Every structure is written in C-alpha cells, then in structure tokens.
Amino acid sequence: MKHLINRLIAIVALSLFPLVGQAQQYTGTSGLAHIPTGEMNHEGDALIGAHFLNKAMMPDTGFLYLGEKYHTFDYYLALTPFSWMEMSYVCTERRRAINEQTGQIQWSKDRYVSIKIQPLKEGKYYPAVAIGCNDVLTTVFFKDRPDVQLYYMNVYVAATKTFTFSGNELGMTVAYRRFLRGYNAKWNGIVGGITFRPSFFPQWRLMAEYTGNEFLLGTDVLLWQHLRLQASLKDFKYANVGLCLQFNLLGKKYRY
C-alpha cells in the first residue's frame, strides 16, 4: 500500500512539474536531484525554497524515530554572488522525543552550509568543472570529533558537458563524491547522470542519474522566470518534490 501511494504521488508530481531549472534543489545548489554537476546557477541568483524528502533519501543515521526512518522536509536560502561561486544555508527537520505534557512530537533542525566553486567554465572541447562541499563549516572545524554528526557532509568534484542538436540540449555529468562518515558510504564514489532540454520548451529539463547506490528519474521546470518546481523518483517508487522562488539580484533575466 505504501509503495502504491508513493507511485501515485510520483505520477502526479511528474505530470505536474515538467522539470526544475538546474538546481540540486534540496540543497539549493546546482545539480541534478541528488548529485552535483559542473554547471552553476546564474550570477546574482537568490533562491528560497523547500523540499519534501522521502525517508528513502535520508541518511541511515540521525533520522530515526522509534527505530524507523521517516519522511521529512528541508528549506534553504541560496545565493550565487559570483559566476564561479554558489553557497547555501539549509535546515532539515528532525524528529525528537514526544512532549510528555502535550503528547506532540518535538522537532529540531539539522543545519549546514554548502559551498560550490567552478574553476573551469565549459568550452567548445572541454566540460565545466566544479568542486564543492556540503556542511563545510563543520567539516573544517569539527571533522575530527567523532561525537559530531555530519549527516550531509560530503566533498565532490564534478564535470559536465552539454551538446546541442536541432535546438535541443543534452547534458552529461560525471562526478566523484566522498562522504566523511561511514553511514553515508553507499553514496560514495563515481556518480553521474544525463539531462535533456527540448527546443520547444528549454525551461523544462528531464534527468536520469545514478547516485552510487540507486537510480533516480526526475523533472524540473522554471515558470514565469521565478518559480522553480522539481520532482524525482528514486528507484522508480520513492517520490521527492520541491519548489523555490528565484530572483536575480542583478536584474538579469534568463530562460532557465
């Protein structure tokens, strides 16, 4: 029954949300649904968004309640101050104990900062290359403390090359990612994905990716130049959806 509900959510989401711009949207930084790319958001872009996270997308440690993983959500503020740098601040909701007086579940927040830098922009014969880190502050100051949990900490390098034919755009990404804590080791190593933008609606993107442990299909779209929507389906049965508002602080306008 749960699998049926997840499939129905995914079908509705994928049919309503043709595909969100170019954000790895649950962190606010550019990428596919769950892996980074060598591409960047536009200089001056500011994003405010939230994302529903299926429990199948969550780390195996730190997001357990009564011994079981649970669905949750996060929200973020992201900024691209320069064409070669992105950064975001993300809060993910965590269940804690039940309040004995009210009987309600208490929640706390896991907070982290992500930074992404692009040392090489895409050229005619070579890909765009980016390096990045999630939970960067904890990684720098507390990575050697075993009592500090780094649920989302990872470092990566990603390369993306796009090809255009008949006005359509095909993107190919290969990345290497490393999580510091062993409980996320299933997502370590070589990851990658492909994207497709049709010429008749370039704001719409289709994507397929391999995360190191599972496959994801996804779609996202930029509507009215400000509203980004995204939906993805992990292993063809676990749905994740998100949305954000995007504004360019430099007053620039882009198709996607």
User: For residue 243, which of 31, 76, 88 has the smallest C-alpha distance?
Assistant: 76
CA 71-24-186 angle, 5° bins: 60
Burial of 216 by CB count in 10 Å (0-12 exposed, 13-18 middle, 19+ buried)? Answer: buried
HSE-CB at 234 with a 13 A cutoff on CA atoms is 17
Instruction: Average the pLDDT over 8-16 and give the result.
Output: 37
Residue 62 CA, distance from chain mean position: 19
Do 229 and 223 contact (CB within 8 A), yes or no? Answer: yes
Q: Which of 12-21, 81-90, 109-118, 140-149 shows the lowest per-residue confidence on average (mean pLDDT)?
A: 12-21
Both tokens of 25, joined, read 């949207």
Q: Which of 58-62, 127-131, 247-251 shows the lowest per-residue confidence on average (mean pLDDT)?
A: 58-62
- Classify strands 128-134 and 154-165 as parallel, antiparallel or unpaired: antiparallel
63 Cβ neighbours under 8 A, 6+ residues apart? 55, 69, 70, 72, 94, 95, 151
User: What are the chain's domains?
Assistant: 2-248 (2.40.160.40)
Write out pLDDT tens, residues 68-97.
Answer: 787 888 889 999 999 999 999 988 877 766
CA 6-11-233 angle, 5° bins: 60
Whole-model pTM: value is: 0.78
Write out pLDDT tens, residues 21-32.
Answer: 344 567 888 888
Over 90: is that where the pLDDT of 164 sits?
yes
